[in-house]
């Protein structure tokens, strides 16, 4: 049995031991699942974001969620959870392009999002859309990828949200199998290097390693990732810093700045404020 076949049997979303998605504490908040190893270069994660219908005791309902730039493109199925046989209302399948800075999303009680996050360079191959044209946008599939409109109808026809997530996983797996060779090798290699070093590379050095001019590198990455290589490197470095700060709330800013390639602590703080809209301490607090 190959890795993708194993994924089809064991990598599914399993919620409360079955296919129901009861509105309880287990479902509230954000959860993500890794793709099969064979798809890891193209897919960062499958994920679910569930807004509770009622606040937990003593805790107010959050009104907004801060989404940080990560260089990725997401395919997202949004709906309002309706307990009972009619489990969804106000459904929408959309594509969110790569972002240059944070976005604040209003949270509505009972809202649910099921999504797949595609790594830079794979939106064109797997979704048939140009990330460059969708940079900073949230567009319905009817407006940017009509071929995916049928997927929305099929997800709406699923018996439960868990079935809808399984269908999303199956669809992306099938598209990856069919279109994995469509991505441009030179751009894929450049983007893979940028991600593996978490943005800590000079564009002149990267262009030289690929045997192209810096101008050609800029065009390749802008076309395939939707944002310029220097900005993408900055976003990847920022994501690494945020990950370290969140993993260790007591980590000194100067140590994180040094590990992530910032000039100094002030440089890190300035980048966080510009990309996240708040200070490092507020972001991880």
**Tokens standing for 15?**
């919620």
Largest Cα separation within the chain, whole Å, is 60
The label of the residue with tokens 């310029």 reads 228
Q: Is the pLDDT of residue 1 over 50?
A: no
- Beta carbons within 10 angstroms of residue 250's beta carbon: 5
pTM over 0.75: yes
- Do 119 and 196 touch, CB atoms closer than 8 A? no
**CA–CA separation, 92 and 87 (whole Å):** 14
- Look at residue 200 and give its three-state secondary structure: coil
Question: Using CA of residue 172, residue 176, residue 177, residue 182, what is the dihedral sign?
Answer: positive
Residue 2 pLDDT: 45
**CA–CA separation, 220 and 88 (whole Å):** 40
- Do 58 and 92 touch, CB atoms closer than 8 A? no
Q: For the chain, give every residue range classified as CATH 1.10.10.60.
A: 185-284
Quick one: DSSP state of residue 69? Answer: P
Chain mean pLDDT for the chain: 88
What digits encode the pLDDT tens for the residues 139-195? Answer: 999 999 999 999 999 999 999 999 999 999 999 999 999 988 777 788 889 999 999
Distance in Å from the first CA to the final CA of the chain: 45
Q: Which CATH superfamily is domain 185-284 in?
A: Homeodomain-like (1.10.10.60)
Q: How confident is the model at residue 5 (pLDDT cuts 50, 70, 90)?
A: very low
What digits encode the pLDDT tens for the residues 23-81? Answer: 444 566 899 999 999 999 999 999 999 998 876 666 666 789 999 999 999 999 999 98
- Do 221 and 229 touch, CB atoms closer than 8 A? yes
């Amino acid at each position: 049995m190959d890795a993708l076949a194993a994924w089809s049997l064991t990598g599914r979303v399993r919620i409360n031991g079955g296919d129901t998605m009861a509105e309880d504490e287990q479902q509230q908040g954000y959860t993500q699942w890794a793709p099969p190893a064979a798809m890891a270069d193209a897919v960062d994660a499958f994920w679910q974001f569930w807004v509770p219908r009622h606040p937990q005791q003593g805790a107010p309902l959050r009104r907004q969620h801060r989404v940080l730039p990560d260089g990725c493109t997401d395919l997202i199925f949004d709906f309002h959870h309706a307990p009972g046989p009619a489990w969804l209302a106000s459904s929408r399948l959309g594509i969110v392009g790569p972002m240059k800075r944070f976005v604040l999303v209003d949270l509505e009680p009972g809202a649910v999002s099921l999504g797949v996050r595609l790594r830079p360079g794979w939106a064109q191959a797997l979704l048939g859309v140009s990330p460059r044209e969708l940079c900073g946008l949230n567009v319905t599939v009817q407006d940017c990828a009509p071929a995916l409109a049928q997927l929305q109808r099929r997800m709406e026809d699923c018996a439960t949200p868990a079935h809808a997530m399984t269908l999303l996983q199956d669809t992306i797996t099938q598209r990856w199998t069919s279109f994995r060779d469509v991505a441009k090798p030179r751009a894929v290699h450049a983007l893979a290097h940028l991600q593996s070093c978490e943005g800590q590379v000079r564009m002149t050095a990267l262009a030289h390693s690929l045997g192209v001019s810096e101008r050609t590198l800029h065009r390749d990455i802008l076309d395939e990732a939707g944002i310029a290589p220097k900005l993408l490197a900055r976003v990847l470095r920022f994501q690494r810093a945020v990950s370290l700060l969140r993993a260790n709330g007591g980590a000194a800013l100067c140590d994180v700045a040094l590990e992530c390639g910032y000039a100094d602590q002030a440089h890190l703080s300035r980048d966080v404020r510009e990309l996240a809209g708040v200070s490092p301490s507020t972001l991880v607090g």
